[in-house]
Amino acid sequence: MQEVSHEYFMREALKEAQRAFEMDEVPIGAVVVKDGRVIARAHNMREITQDATAHAEVLAIRQACEAVGLWRLIGCSLYVTLEPCPMCAGAIILARLDRVVFGAWDPKAGAAGSVVDLFGVERFNHHPEVVPGVLAEECSSLLKEFFRKKRL
């Protein structure tokens, strides 16, 4: 049941990634879920905004903070199609998210174990539950297709 629910929300994140793809942005999407409901959804917007911080996770977290009216996202889970980078992993810790569920691993910049593991650093004051690899194939395929088309 838990697994079904993770896949359901990862599909919502994938819809956001697909929107990014259509806008010629690197296709990464994220949603924030509270009490079984999506309260924020966003995708990477770095190129269109020319804002280095406009990653899907940061945009979704900002939107979720606005939705609940608090900077602490207690009781919330973040679903994202790619392993978070250090900036986004840091934002997840700062926002006190209960859980982060991600799709594909990112061997180049992943901060949930691939390059560094920020969620596992004991000295930080918050440690979300981490669920990796949900719909990893689909999340990864979308990224591969994007970069393949870019090279054509």
Is 88 known as a binding-site position?
yes
Nearer to a copy of itself among residue 86 and residue 132 (C-beta): 86
Is residue 57 among the annotated active site residues? yes
Q: What distance in Å separates the CA atoms of residue 44 and residue 23, rounded to the nearest whole number?
A: 10
The site for a copy of itself (CB under 8 A) is made up of 46-47, 49-55, 58, 61-62, 65-66, 69-73, 85-91, 93-96, 108-109, 111, 115-116, 118, 121, 123-125
Closest distance of CB 115 from a copy of itself, Å? 5
Is 65 known as a binding-site position?
no
Active site residues: 57
Known binding-site residue numbers for Zn(2+): 55, 85, 88
